[in-house]
Amino acid sequence: MFKLRARMQAQGWLRPADGELHLTPAGAKLALQVIRAHRLWERYLADEARMPLADVHAEADRREHHRDERAIQALDAAMGYPQTDPHGDPIPTAEGMLPPSSAQPLTQWPIGEPAVIVHLEDEPEAVFSQIAAEGLRPGQRIRVLESDDTRIVFADESETHVLAPVVAGNIFVAAADPIAVAPAIELLTSLVPGASATVHKLDDVLQGFTRRRLLDLGLTPGAEITAEYSSFLGDPMAFRVRGSLIALRRQQARHILIRTNGGAGENGHG
């Protein structure tokens, strides 16, 4: 450790001050580059390599120090410029900007207030394994039902979860976006043939090359989209966007949010 600190000081990344070591501007820039590479690799390993979430951190650790800036920029672009890693941590931009977070531990969230998971702490590994086993992920909407010193009970759209406070404390949440649950915002799967709407956004669940492909197809915020028809079994579905006819699997379409502007679409089975 002493040799490492000495080398970092010699390279101008650390400086002593008030009996402590502090990052220099060059050191802070390097740290953000490492964080950026690490989190982009985590995103790639989880979304494209389909590596179990519990394993991506260690593998990204091995890859983060082999930093070819052009290669990292190409990886970022190919995945559609994701804003967060699979655990919900923000990915620094190429310019070194890192947005602040206002997330709170689930253990501190008020009972009954809707929330969205924004971050899952991946250490210690034993605690994260319990979180992963529950199938929890950033972007998931939840509501705390019970909370005391022995357990936290909360529900998502499909099931109820019960965790010990020491585990729930590694789940960080923020207030659910009211726009995302407004009546005029629906899933693309709700459009019936002949109905049109405006693309609101892609769900944050869609990341990596899948997100980039949908953006390349023209599914960007503000684009008008019309449901043309669906196959006999309802999958895939055909839509017209920006003058082109595209086919989407229902699993993809249910992660595309549309603005119906007062009822252009009709609720279906998302």
Above 80 in pLDDT, residue 158?
A: no
pLDDT band at 17 (very low <50, low <70, confident <90, very high): confident
Joined tokens for residue 64: 């983060």
Q: So what CATH class is 181-259?
A: mainly beta
pLDDT confidence of residue 244:
93
The whole-number average pLDDT for the span 4-10 is: 68
| Domain at 2-78: CATH code | 1.10.10.10
Domain residue ranges of the chain, discontinuous segments joined by +: 2-78, 104-176, 181-259
pLDDT band at 4 (very low <50, low <70, confident <90, very high): low
With vertex at residue 15, the alpha carbon angle to CA 9 and CA 18, rounded to the nearest 5 degrees, is: 145
Q: pLDDT per residue over 28-75, tens digit each? A: 888 888 999 999 999 889 887 878 887 888 899 888 877 788 899 998
d(CA 218, CA 210): 13
- Same topology, domains 2-78 and 104-176? Answer is no
pLDDT band at 26 (very low <50, low <70, confident <90, very high): confident
Q: Is 264 helix (H, G, I), strand (E, B) or coil?
A: coil
**135-140, long-range: CB within 8 Å, 24+ apart, which pairs?**
136/161, 136/171, 137/86, 137/205, 138/84, 138/86, 138/87, 138/88, 138/204, 139/88, 139/203, 139/204, 139/205, 140/116
10 Å CB burial of residue 167 (0-12, 13-18, 19+) is: buried
pLDDT confidence of residue 196:
93
pLDDT confidence of residue 187:
87
**Is residue 114 within 8 Å of residue 176, measured between CB atoms?**
yes
**Is residue 187 within 8 Å of residue 252, measured between CB atoms?**
no
Q: pLDDT per residue over 105-122, tens digit each? A: 999 999 999 999 999 998
d(CA 190, CA 104): 33
pLDDT confidence of residue 178:
62
Joined tokens for residue 268: 């279906």
pLDDT band at 261 (very low <50, low <70, confident <90, very high): low
Give the homologous superfamily in CATH for domain 104-176.
Answer: Ferrous iron transport protein A (FeoA) (2.30.30.90)
Q: pLDDT per residue over 171-200, tens digit each? A: 999 998 764 444 467 889 888 899 999 998
